[in-house]
Each structure stands twice: as structure tokens, then as C-alpha cells.
């Protein structure tokens, strides 16, 4: 599952279940370069994860977020420095 792969890339402890994911907290996320697989949901998930990650987060094909939320990146950026 692409979401598991990409969250794990940032150091998250993720277990894939039949009906979703189990993410165990307590680990700091690290910046990473993420693929979106042309999926707007993954683009937005990685953008939010990048807010709390240490280091730089790069999201390839980030514009795919506009499929469901055209102003996502502007709105995320309005949350403050580092967004």
C-alpha cells in the first residue's frame, strides 16, 4: 500500500491491515522525498506529515492535491512558518 510505504519513508511505524493502517505513535518523523502515485490523498497526507517532520520534506507531483482540494497548498502554507 502506497500510504504505508510513504509514511514509513519518513520513519513512521506503520502496519498494513486488511481494512486500513495502524500507525503507532511516539516516533519523530524525518523529512524525506515522497511519491504521490498520482493520488491526491497521498499528496495531502505527506504534506501534513511534513509539517511535523524534522528536516526537509519534498513531495513529487504535489499538484495532484488539486484534484479534490485546489487550494490545499495555499491553505497549508497559511498555517505558519515551515508549512
Q: What is the CATH number of domain 2-77?
A: 3.65.10.10
pLDDT of 83 reads: 58
Q: Which of 55, 83, 67 is nearest to 75 (CA)?
A: 83
User: Left (φ > 0), alpha (ψ -120 to 50) or beta: where does 54 sit?
Assistant: beta
**What confidence tens digit (pLDDT) does each residue in 53-64 have?**
999 999 999 999
**What confidence tens digit (pLDDT) does each residue in 8-41 have?**
999 999 999 999 999 999 999 999 999 999 999 9
Domain ranges of the chain: 2-77
What cell was used for 17? 491491515
pTM: 0.89
Amino acid at each position: 500500500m502506497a500510504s504505508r510505504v510513504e509514511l514509513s519513508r519518513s520513519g513512521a511505524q506503520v502496519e498494513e491491515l486488511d481494512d486500513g493502517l495502524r500507525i503507532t505513535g511516539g516516533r519523530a518523523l524525518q523529512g524525506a522525498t515522497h511519491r504521490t502515485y498520482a493520488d491526491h490523498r497521498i499528496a495531502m497526507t505527506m504534506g501534513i506529515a511534513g509539517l511535523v517532520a524534522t528536516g526537509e520534506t519534498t513531495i513529487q507531483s504535489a499538484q495532484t492535491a488539486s484534484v479534490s482540494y485546489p487550494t490545499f497548498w495555499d491553505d497549508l502554507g497559511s498555517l505558519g512558518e515551515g508549512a
